[in-house]
Amino acid sequence: MTNFYIRWGGVCIVAIVLIVLTYNHYRDNLASLAPQQVKQEAPAGEVRVLGMVQGGTLETRAAGEATFSLLGESVSLPVHYEGPPPDNLRELKILVLIGTWTADTQVFEARDIGIVPNYGFIAGAYLLGLLPLALLLFAMTRRVSLLYEEIKASKLYEEE
């Protein structure tokens, strides 16, 4: 039985390492700011902002340019996007923008526009898919080890 527990200890360690790696990876992508935070703090460099495209403000030009206001709880952020407007971009939609805030012109230059990622669904699916299998396998291998011990202990078993 010692080998059995060593093996499952290894499985647990690998699982923890994978969870930590994944969590760290997504923490970097998850951190998004609200429009009011961007206006107040004026962060340098590239940031993620989460907000809703304000109704009636979206203007797209065929040349590959879009301007709109990203609405937070109280303030809205003027946004300028260069490039062909993605399918996701439409009014009253909650989006995540990746880009930089220029304090001088008070305009957010968006480099990329994406839908709000559903990390909860991904985590839920992986937990639902893998956890029951791991528990079932643990219970089965444990029982098989015990059965072998019981059979070996019984007088009826003949060694090869």
Partner 1 sequence: MTIHRVIRKVQRFEGWFGGGAALCLIAGLYVGLIGSPPDYYQGEVVRIMYIHVPLAHTSLLGYTVLAVGSLWYLWKRDPIVDNMCQAVAALSAVFTALALGTGMIWGKPTWDTWWTWDARLTSFTVLLLILIGYLMLRTFVDDPEKEARYGAILAIVGFVDLPIIHFSVEWWRTLHQPQSISMRGVSISSGLLVPLLLMSVGMSLLFSYMLMVRTQLLYLDRLLHAKKGRLLSQFHLSKSDS
Partner 2 sequence: MMVAKKKVGMIVSILLVGGALGYLALGNFGENVVYFFTPSEVKAFSTDYYKKKVRVGGMVVEGSMETYPDRLGLTFQLTDGEATIPVTFEGIPPDLFKEGQGAVVEGYWTGEHRFESNLIMAKHSEDYMPIELKRAGVELPRKDFMKSLVE
CA gap 17, 34 in Å, rounded: 31
Nearest distance, CB of residue 137 and partner 1, angstroms? 6
Enter the tokens of residue 101: 């805030």
Q: Does 62 bind partner 1 (CB under 8 A)?
A: no
* In the block, residue with structure tokens 């220029």: 102
What does the alpha-carbon distance between residue 110 and residue 79 come to, in Å, rounded to a whole number? 7
Q: Min. distance of Cβ 103 from partner 1 in angstroms?
A: 30
CB of 141: closest distance to partner 1 in angstroms?
6
From the list 40, 34, 48, the residue with the least C-alpha distance to 110 is: 48
Catalogue the E-assigned strands of 72-121.
76-82, 94-102, 107-115
Q: Cβ–Cβ contacts within 10 Å for residue 36, how many?
A: 15
Contacting range for partner 2; rule: CB under 8 A; set: 21-29, 59-67, 84-92, 147-155: 84-92
Q: Applying CB under 8 A, which residues contact partner 1? A: 11, 14, 18, 21-22, 25, 114-115, 117-119, 121-122, 124-126, 128-130, 132-133, 136-137, 140-141, 143-144, 147-148, 150-151, 154, 156-158, 160
Kindly list the residues in this chain that would bind partner 2 in the complex (CB under 8 A).
55-56, 87-88, 90-92, 115-116
